[in-house]
Amino acid sequence: MNAQTHRADALALEFVRFSVDAGVLRFGEFKTKAGRLSPYFFNAGGFDDGAKLGRLAEFYARRLIESGLGFDMLFGPAYKGIVLASAVAVELARLGRNVPFAYNRKEDKDHGEGGRLVGAPLAGRVVVIDDVISAGTSVRESVAWIRQAGATPAAVAIALDRQERAAEGGVDKAHSAVQYVMTELGMQVVAVATLADLLEYLSAAGAGTLAAHAGRVAAYRDRYGV
C-alpha cells in the first residue's frame, strides 16, 4: 500500500500518540547514524520506567497476536532487545500466550553456566524482538544464533518501521533495512507502527504544534523513503 492510500489502524495511531506523550518520539532536527538530518527521532530507551515499559510491551504483544504469526518463542538481541523480549514475554503470558524467551550476551561468560546465550534453549519458530531495524546487522547476528541452535528465525517484531532507504550495513540502498530482512533473510517483519502511520497522526493533529511538523516529515519521506 502506498503512502497516498495508507490508512493507519487504531493500534498504530494509539502507539504513535503514546510515544509522543512519553517523549520517546520527538521532533526537531536530529542527525542520524547515516548522517541524514531527520525531522523526527525515535528513542526506545525513553521507555524508562515500569509503566511505560509495560505499555510498550502491550503494543508489541497485541500486534504479534493480531498478526496471526505462528511462533514458539522470543529472542532479544543485546542490549535493548533483552529488555524488550523479557517485557513482551511477560505481557504475552498475561494475555494467555505463555512462551519462553532467550537473549545473547555481547561477550562470552567463562564461569557459571558459561556461553553467550541466556534463557530458554532456542527451538522451534523464533521471533526476534527489537526496537527498529537500521541496517539489519542485529537481525543477521540473531539469525546466526537461532540457526546455529537448530531453530527457525520466523520473524522480527519492531516498534517503528522508518520506511527509509538503507544507508549502511551493506544493505541494497534501493531498499529499506526492513525490506532487506524480508527479501534477503526471508523473515516476516511485524511493526507496531510505521512512518506512514506517524504522518497520518501528524496530519490529523489539526492546526496545533504537532501538525506543524507534518510537512517536514513528509518532505523527509519523499527524499529518503521507500
Domains within the chain, CATH numbers bracketed: 10-224 (3.40.50.2020)
pLDDT value at residue 4? 45
For 71-80, 110-119, 177-186, which range has the lowest pLDDT when averaged over its residues? 110-119
Confidence band for 180, pLDDT divided at 50, 70 and 90? confident
Q: Does residue 110 have a pLDDT over 60?
A: no
pLDDT value at residue 116? 85
Higher pLDDT: 5 or 223? It is 223
Catalytic residue among 31, 33, 106, 109: 109
Please provide the size of the chain in residues: 226
Look-up: residue for cell 526476534?
128
Catalytic residue among 52, 111, 173, 213: 111
* Mean pLDDT confidence for 76-88: 95
Q: Do residues 42 and 19 touch, judged by C-beta distance below 8 A?
A: yes
In this prediction the pTM is: 0.90
Q: Does residue 23 have a pLDDT over 60?
A: yes
Task: List the one residue out of 26, 87, 92 whose CA is nearest residue 103.
Answer: 87
Cell of 112: 557459571
Cell of 102: 532467550
Q: Would residue 31 show up in a list of annotated catalytic residues for this protein?
A: no
Q: Would residue 111 show up in a list of annotated catalytic residues for this protein?
A: yes
* Mean pLDDT confidence for 76-98: 96
Rounded to the nearest 10 degrees, how much is the dihedral formed by the CA atoms of 136, 86, 151, 194? -40
Residue 45 DSSP label: G
Confidence band for 93, pLDDT divided at 50, 70 and 90? very high
pLDDT value at residue 3? 41
pLDDT, the chain, mean: 89
